[in-house]
């Protein structure tokens, strides 16, 4: 009995050792096949491996892949191509029998069935079923979603209604944000096979970045301008919604004294707001409330400044943010709160005259007082400032001009026009070409009915402003490139005129986009070689951006009136 058990153990161990040897030989051939580049030689090596151990699903998968590659090489030869794909399918199915849960084998099998169905439609291979199995088995595999979705999307016209629903479900799971080229691939497939705007909107995620990429594609391909503008208006809206969320998160972090995180959210909010081009003006929608936009922008500026103050920044580090807040804020109550806060934090003094040595702070406080309509206090400080001795150096000149301008503005508000003139004259002695001061002194002369002086100031202003014919030449605007131009203007409403080469509208109609100070003012097909569009300018430097969608155009002249 004991001897019989020993024999059984010896036989069992021998079998295990023999099986291990067979597996090792199988793996050896498998590794050897990986080094071989020729598909037919690789198949012969792998088939040898199967003779020793025919239960390795990876061997059948590799054989199937190589037959598949041979089939792709012989697509022009229908008979041989079909033979290779049939062998590929046979081996993939053997691999699946050994390992039914292998999603990548199902994926390869689906490809092979598809190509065989092209070479021999009478076989009616159900490759769609294999793609469905691939998705079910793959789990959260983004790469599989992309590959399967890409293939199914390319077959859209041939799909049944149920298969289209399945395709849309797969495509919605694809991460288009991670890899930009994925979206481009799908858009090209859509352009070639579908061109149904409802379909593409169902698969692209609601993202400002993705929407803008889609809109860029529409422009380049000269597709629906209405769809492009609507999608860009939606992109602006989504950007605004994200900005609001950042603002709310910033307020929450600020409430719990986490100033660094709060500042990051407010900074992100401001950057998002800067990306908004207001395409809703072209679509005649009201997706974004301008009042809400301005409220979020100004309080993001204020709160970001406060975060930096709480983190230890000095006045110089936050001055620009505070000035931008004051520029947009009209409520005296909010301005009073800011003044109290800055005094409590030691960044400002209560007495206006105590900051005469620090011209940055003096200029800021005058701006703050002016927004509070404290003109009498400003004029008292102006009288003291006139009697004071202050050093005028190049680095201080600009701030002294700002200070003198605030004194002059306050005199205007108090109807002390001759005093206003004197302050403006002193400012112009330091900076004769300061456009803002010249515009203010012109307004003073208009109120005094000083015709000769008005004409003299207007001549000086005309020399500073950009000439009416701002650009003349031959500037080629290529796709993806933007023509940028800067205009020194006086803050009035005007009309921008662009002239292009006549041949730009002969063969194809280009789509031209014009931005003024970062906001859209015109976008349409250029049916004639010129266009005119109105704008609202700022006092000082303004920016014009001209972009051609689809193909290059040549800009000859840019004028304004």
CATH number of the domain encompassing residue 476: 2.60.120.680
Q: Which residues contact 109 (CB under 8 A, 6 or more apart)?
A: 64, 89, 92, 93, 96, 130
Check whether residue 92 and residue 103 sit in a common domain.
yes
Give the model confidence (pLDDT) of 512-540 as tens digits: 899 999 999 999 988 888 899 999 999 99
CATH number of the domain encompassing residue 357: 1.25.40.10
Residue 192 lies in a domain: no
DSSP 268-319: HHHHHHHT---THHHHT---S-HHHHHHHHHHHHHHHHHHHHHTT--HHHHH
State which residues form the domain around 91: 26-139
pLDDT score, position 16 = 56
- Could you give the C-alpha distances from 92 to 44, 88, 97, 124, 469, in angstroms and in order? 16, 6, 9, 18, 71
Q: Which of the listed residues 329, 346, 363 is the one where a domain comes to its end?
A: 346
Give the model confidence (pLDDT) of 113-147 as tens digits: 888 888 887 777 778 888 888 888 887 888 888 88
Pairing of strands 553-560, 493-500: antiparallel
pLDDT score, position 232 = 96
Q: What is the pLDDT along the chain (561 residues), one digit of tens a residue?
A: 566 666 665 555 665 555 455 556 555 555 555 566 666 666 666 666 565 656 677 777 777 778 878 887 887 888 888 888 888 888 888 888 888 888 888 888 888 888 888 888 777 777 888 888 888 888 788 888 888 888 889 889 888 899 899 999 988 888 887 777 889 999 999 999 888 999 999 999 999 999 999 999 998 888 899 999 999 999 999 999 999 999 999 999 999 999 999 999 999 999 999 999 999 999 999 999 999 999 999 999 999 999 999 999 999 999 999 999 999 999 999 999 999 999 999 998 887 777 677 888 999 999 999 999 999 999 998 888 877 756 566 667 888 999 999 999 999 999 999 999 999 999 999 999 999 999 999 999 999 999 999 999 999 999 999 999 988 888 888 887 899 999 999 999 999 999 998 766 556 678 889 999 999 999 998 888 889 999 999 999 999 999 988 778 889 999 998
- DSSP class of residue 257? T
Q: Which residues contact 378 (CB under 8 A, 6 or more apart)?
A: 352, 366, 369, 370, 406, 407, 410
Check whether residue 341 and residue 211 sit in a common domain.
yes
Q: Which of the listed residues 416, 447, 464 is the one where a domain comes to its end?
A: 464
Among left, alpha and beta (phi > 0; psi -120 to 50; other), residue 41 is alpha
> Residue 518 CB: number of other CB atoms within 10 A?
12
Q: Which residues pair with 535 in a beta bridge?
A: 494
Check whether residue 105 and residue 224 sit in a common domain.
no
Question: Could you give the CA distance from residue 110 to residue 68 in angstroms, rounded to a whole number?
Answer: 11
CB 535 within 8 A of CB 482: no
Q: What value does the CA radius of gyration of the chain take, rounded to a whole number of Å?
A: 36
Check whether residue 69 and residue 43 sit in a common domain.
yes
pTM for the complete prediction?
0.85
> Residue 289 CB: number of other CB atoms within 10 A?
11
Question: Could you give the CA distance from residue 90 to residue 77 in angstroms, rounded to a whole number?
Answer: 20
> Residue 421 CB: number of other CB atoms within 10 A?
20
Check whether residue 510 and residue 450 sit in a common domain.
no
Question: Could you give the CA distance from residue 328 to residue 334 in angstroms, rounded to a whole number?
Answer: 11
Check whether residue 421 and residue 499 sit in a common domain.
no
**Helix (H) or strand (E) segment spanning residue 520:** strand 519-525
Check whether residue 292 and residue 332 sit in a common domain.
yes
Question: Could you give the CA distance from residue 190 to residue 293 in angstroms, rounded to a whole number?
Answer: 35
pLDDT score, position 88 = 82
Question: Could you give the CA distance from residue 540 to residue 79 in angstroms, rounded to a whole number?
Answer: 75
pLDDT score, position 333 = 94
Buried b / exposed e across 308-328, counting CB within 10 Å, b at 16+?
Answer: bbeeebebeebbebbebbbee
pLDDT score, position 39 = 66
Residue 3 lies in a domain: no
């Amino acid at each position: 009995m004991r001897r019989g058990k020993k024999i059984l153990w010896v036989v069992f161990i021998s079998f295990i050792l023999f099986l291990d040897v067979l597996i090792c030989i199988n793996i050896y051939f498998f590794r050897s096949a990986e080094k071989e580049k020729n598909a037919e030689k690789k198949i012969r090596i792998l088939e040898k491996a199967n003779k020793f151990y025919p239960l390795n699903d990876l061997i059948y998968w590799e054989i199937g892949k190589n037959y598949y590659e041979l089939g792709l090489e012989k697509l022009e030869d229908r008979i041989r191509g079909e033979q290779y794909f049939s062998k590929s399918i046979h081996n993939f199915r053997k691999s699946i029998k050994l390992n039914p849960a292998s999603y990548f084998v199902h994926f390869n099998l689906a490809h092979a069935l598809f190509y065989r169905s092209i070479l021999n439609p009478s076989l009616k291979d159900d490759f769609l079923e294999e793609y469905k199995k691939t998705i079910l088995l793959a789990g959260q595999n983004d790469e599989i979603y992309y590959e399967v979705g890409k293939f199914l999307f390319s077959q859209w016209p041939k799909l049944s209604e149920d298969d289209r629903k399945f395709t849309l479900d797969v495509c919605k799971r694809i991460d288009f944000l991670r890899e930009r080229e994925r979206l481009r691939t799908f858009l090209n497939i859509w352009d070639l096979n579908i061109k149904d705007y409802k379909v593409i909107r169902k698969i692209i995620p609601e993202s400002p970045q993705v929407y803008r990429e889609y809109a860029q594609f529409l422009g380049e391909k000269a597709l629906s301008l209405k769809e492009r503008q609507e999608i860009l208006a939606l992109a602006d809206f989504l950007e605004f919604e994200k900005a609001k969320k950042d603002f709310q998160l910033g307020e929450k972090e600020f409430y719990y004294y986490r100033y660094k995180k709060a500042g990051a959210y407010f900074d992100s909010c401001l950057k998002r707001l800067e990306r908004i081009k207001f395409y809703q003006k072209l679509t005649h929608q009201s997706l974004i409330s301008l009042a809400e936009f301005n409220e979020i922008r100004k309080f993001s500026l204020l709160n970001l400044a406060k975060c930096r103050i709480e983190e230890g920044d000095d006045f110089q580090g936050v001055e620009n943010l505070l000035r931008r807040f004051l520029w947009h804020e009209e409520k005296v109550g909010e301005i009073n709160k800011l003044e109290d806060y800055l005094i409590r934090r030691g960044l400002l003094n209560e007495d206006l005259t105590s900051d005469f040595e620090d011209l940055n702070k003096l200029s800021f406080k005058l701006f703050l007082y002016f927004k509070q309509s404290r003109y009498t206090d400003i004029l008292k400080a102006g009288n003291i400032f006139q009697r004071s001795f202050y050093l005028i150096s190049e680095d201080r000149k600009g701030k002294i001009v700002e200070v003198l301008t605030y004194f002059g503005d306050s005199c205007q508000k108090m109807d002390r026009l001759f005093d206003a003139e004197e302050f403006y004259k002193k400012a112009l002695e330091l900076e004769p070409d300061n456009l803002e001061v010249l515009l203010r002194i012109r307004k003073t002369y208009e109120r005094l009915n000083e015709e000769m002086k008005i004409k003299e100031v207007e001549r000086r202003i005309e020399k500073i402003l950009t000439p009416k014919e701002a650009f003349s030449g031959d500037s080629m605007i290529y796709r993806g490139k933007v023509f940028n131009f800067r205009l020194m203007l006086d803050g009035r409403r005007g009309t921008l005129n662009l002239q292009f080469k006549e041949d730009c509208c002969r063969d194809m109609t280009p789509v031209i986009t014009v931005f003024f100070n970062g906001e859209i003012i015109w976008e349409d097909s250029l049916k004639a070689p010129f266009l005119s569009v109105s704008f609202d300018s700022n006092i000082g430097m303004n920016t014009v951006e001209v972009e051609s969608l689809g193909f290059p155009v040549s800009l000859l002249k840019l004028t304004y009136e």
